[in-house]
Amino acid sequence: MKILITAGPTREFFDPVRYISNRSSGKMGYALARAARRYGQVTLVSGPVALKPPAGVEFVPVTTAAEMAREVFRRYRQTDLVIMAAAVCDYRPSKKARGKIKKSRLDIGLTLELKPTTDILAELGRRKTRQRLVGFAAETDRLVANAREKLQRKNLDMIVANPVQAMEADTNRVTLLYADGRVEPLPEMPKSKLARQIMRRVNALRT
């Protein structure tokens, strides 16, 4: 089985040194990559994080959402399972200044105009043939309802719903939602253990 896992945040630049991003640490995605090795050949497409890539996986470092999209799309046809654990930025600055933006001497504010990035997972859902697709949903409220909506809209086989508090933490308490309507809450546990539990269930989804 060929497994593609994404992890970490993306960075969206508005000048050569400044970007917008999010709090993702990559811990969940890296734990999944580690746990997935026993099920097949693993590729880890990762945004910038402070973690060491696990041994025995193909490691593809990326920075922006556009780069992540490119690396994921070019591998999709040969892939059996995609797990999108990355916290892909939903928006990027509309313009990237060529030089470093100078602070205005007039001390006026600076407005950043943003435009949406490609929703990688939704696009994978549209192009799905034999692949199994697993997404993550980070929510502050209405966890299960919002996750179910994403599961359906993005044509996923399973979604891992977690409260945003799990970002940066070493443990996570998730609820798994399946395409067939099943909802499975799991107890709080270390991300390493959770990764093994998720992989076991994803593997059982095999058609």
The helix (H) or strand (E) run that includes residue 173 is: none
Positive or negative torsion for Cα 72, 74, 77, 80: negative
Binding site for ligand CTP (CB under 6 A): 65, 84, 86, 88, 90, 117, 119-121, 135-138, 150
CB of 103 to ligand CTP, least distance (A): 31
Q: What angle do CA 150, 155, 161 make, to 5 degrees?
A: 35
Nearer to ligand CTP, 118 or 197 (CB): 118
C-beta of 94 vs 100, nearer to ligand CTP:
94
Q: At residue 36, what are phi and psi to the nearest 5 degrees?
A: -80, -15
Beta carbon of residue 204, minimum distance to ligand CTP (angstroms, whole number): 20
Give catalytic residue positions: 22
- Classify burial at 179, counting beta carbons within 10 Å of its beta carbon; exposed 0-12, middle 13-18, buried 19 or more: middle
For residue 98, the minimal CB distance to ligand CTP (Å) is 25
Closer by beta carbon to ligand CTP, 112 or else 145: 145
Q: Measured from the CB atom, is 61 or 99 closer to ligand CTP? A: 61
Angle at 169 between CA 55 and CA 27, to 5 degrees: 20
Least distance from ligand CTP to the Cβ atom of residue 82, Å: 9
Q: How far is Cα 31 from Cα 33, in angstroms, rounded to an integer?
A: 5
Residue 151 to residue 136: CA distance in whole angstroms: 9
Min dist CB 118 to ligand CTP, Å, is 6
Joined tokens for residue 158: 């399973």
44, 7 Cβ separation under 8 angstroms: yes
Considering the complex, state which of residue 42 and residue 84 has its C-beta at the smaller distance from ligand CTP: 84
Bridge pairing between strands 132-139 and 81-84: parallel
